[in-house]
Amino acid sequence: MVNVNRTTRLFFISVLLAVVLAGAAIASTLEPPAEVFKTHCANCHGASGDGKTAYSKRVPVPDLRRKIFQDRSDEEIYASIATGAGHVNYPHSFGSRGMDREKILGLVQLIRTFKNAK
């Protein structure tokens, strides 16, 4: 009888854990790119991507709206966000810090909209 109760408890704990993890995965995927940018990027790059922030007074931060940045391929921008490719002062590497592929792809598409905002 003790084994049944223990087995039942383990089953319910497993189901609960699966539900919590599935909910977290869905919530992660549903976060709009603008919110991801606001949370992870705007402090340095500015809300509009112009790079004019308090941080940019100490470290060069690119204006994401400029042609020189917008001319980069999606893959280059993705690599910059995910792995810090091309960064000298502050390597992003958000991919290794838990940001999933979908969020990074969303950021790439959001950054593409900045060229029209200048």
**d(C-alpha 23, C-alpha 43), whole Å:** 28
**d(C-alpha 69, C-alpha 1), whole Å:** 67
Check residue 1 and give its pLDDT: 45
Helix (H) or strand (E) holding 9: helix 2-30
Per-run averaged pLDDT (10 residues), the chain, 118 residues: 64 67 58 96 95 92 93 96 86 88 96 81
Check residue 5 and give its pLDDT: 78
Threshold 0.75, pTM exceeds: no
| Residue-number span of the structural domain to which 86 is assigned | 32-114
* 1 shares its domain with 15: yes
Check residue 40 and give its pLDDT: 94
Helix (H) or strand (E) holding 75: helix 74-83
* 99 shares its domain with 44: yes
**CATH code, domain with 90:** 1.10.760.10
